[in-house]
């Protein structure tokens, strides 16, 4: 068999289908630069121009369309056979779930005991990975995606949306400078989540201020975190004020380890999505896990509003 550049073929198919380098990057969990490099490498390998690049969207050439259709048909056939083989050998098998670390730590882990009690015959393993590309390894059954729009190319269901608002430890309000107005944030450390590139505006402090009509003051200090669960934990420890993201701070607010000192709430552009290959829902264990997630997401303590 000819040594085909399978990673580049998969990336090119996504760009051709979505007509966008940025959307393909979001779907595959890659940077836009990496997507561009894969497409360029494939064009060099074939010796043909496969995409017409535009400022708003990219479209496949005649050669590109021919190749994209062949890739889609081939990958679809392979995926179907692999799903069939994995389903046939499945008996009380583990459901492997890929999801963002913050969602895993702050929302999913505390609730898994409920699933274990109701379904003792279905083990669940959690992998803190992101991007649709996790399915290509064959080790992941379902994924929780944090995205501004419905993921394409797979079965996807919206689990919950996201509200954002300032949160802090109760001690921050009773010792030193309190927080009665947005201006009081100037006396505190702001805990900041670092977001990667995305199609929609991420839920940052500036986003919250713009959406709620607030003027964000210059804080005394800024501390940045690469994972949302770290900023939540820092807020619980009293290290500063975080921009709380429901559902990630729901349990901490309910237990009183975090409080919301201001009433201004912004609706994020992002949601949490249950995603899996379509044929995966033919597996009973995966359907049971999906149905349980729906129920948990719809309860008052799991509702994002």
CATH fold for domain 6-88: Arc Repressor Mutant, subunit A (1.10.10)
Q: HSE on the CB side for 241, CA within 13 Å?
A: 29
pLDDT tens by residue, 207-251: 999 999 999 999 889 999 988 889 999 999 999 999 999 999 999
The token duo for 179 is 């927080």
pLDDT for position 32: 86
Reported as a pLDDT band with limits 50, 70 and 90, residue 2 is: low
Percent of the chain at pLDDT > 70 equals 89
Q: Which CATH class is domain 163-267?
A: alpha beta
pLDDT for position 175: 79
Which tops the pLDDT comparison, 301 or 110? Answer: 110
Distances (CA, A) of 45 to 53, 54, 79: 18, 22, 25
pLDDT for position 137: 61
> What is the rounded average pLDDT of the residues 18-35?
85
For the beta carbon of residue 262, count every other beta carbon within 10 angstroms. 19
Q: Decide if 6-88 and 163-267 have a common fold.
A: no
**CATH 3.40.50.300 is the classification of domain 95-161+270-298:** no
Question: Which helix (H) or strand (E) segment is 173 a member of?
Answer: helix 171-174
Where do the structural domains in the chain lie, given as residue ranges?
Answer: 6-88, 95-161+270-298, 163-267
For the beta carbon of residue 110, count every other beta carbon within 10 angstroms. 12
Q: Is the alpha carbon torsion for 281, 283, 289, 295 positive or negative?
A: positive
pLDDT above 80: residue 257: yes
pLDDT tens by residue, 161-201: 999 999 999 999 887 778 999 999 999 999 999 887 677 88
For the beta carbon of residue 120, count every other beta carbon within 10 angstroms. 9
User: Which is it for strands 241-245 and 163-167: parallel, antiparallel or unpaired?
Assistant: antiparallel
Q: HSE on the CB side for 140, CA within 13 Å?
A: 22
> What is the rounded average pLDDT of the residues 43-65?
89
Nearest to 236 by CA among 225, 112, 114, 215: 225
């Amino acid at each position: 068999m000819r040594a085909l550049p399978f990673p580049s073929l998969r990336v090119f198919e996504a760009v051709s289908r979505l007509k966008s380098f940025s959307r393909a990057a979001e779907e595959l969990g890659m940077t836009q630069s990496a997507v561009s490099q894969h497409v360029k490498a494939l064009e060099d390998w074939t010796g043909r121009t496969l995409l017409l690049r535009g400022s708003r969207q990219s479209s496949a050439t005649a050669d590109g369309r021919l190749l994209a259709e062949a890739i889609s048909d081939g990958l679809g056939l392979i995926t179907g056979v692999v799903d069939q083989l994995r389903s046939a050998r499945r008996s009380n098998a583990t459901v492997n779930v890929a999801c963002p670390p913050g969602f895993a730590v702050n929302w999913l882990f505390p609730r898994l005991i409920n699933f274990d009690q109701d379904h003792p015959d279905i083990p669940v393993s959690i992998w803190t990975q992101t991007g649709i590309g996790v399915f290509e390894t064959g080790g992941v059954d379902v994924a929780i995606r944090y995205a501004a729009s419905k993921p394409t190319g797979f079965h996807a269901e919206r689990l919950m949306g996201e509200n954002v608002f300032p949160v802090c430890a109760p001690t921050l309000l009773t010792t030193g400078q309190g927080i009665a107005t947005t201006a009081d944030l100037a006396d505190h450390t702001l805990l900041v989540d670092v977001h990667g590139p995305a199609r929609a505006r991420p839920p940052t402090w500036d986003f919250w201020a713009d959406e709620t009509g607030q003027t964000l003051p210059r804080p005394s200090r800024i501390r940045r975190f690469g994972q949302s669960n770290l900023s939540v934990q820092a807020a619980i420890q009293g290290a500063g004020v975080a921009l709380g993201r429901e559902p990630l701070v729901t349990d901490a607010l309910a237990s009183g380890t975090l409080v919301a000192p201001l009433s201004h709430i912004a609706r994020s552009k992002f949601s949490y999505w249950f995603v899996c290959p379509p044929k995966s829902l033919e597996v009973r264990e995966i359907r049971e896990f999906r149905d349980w997630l729906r129920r948990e997401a719809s309860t008052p303590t799991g509702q994002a509003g």
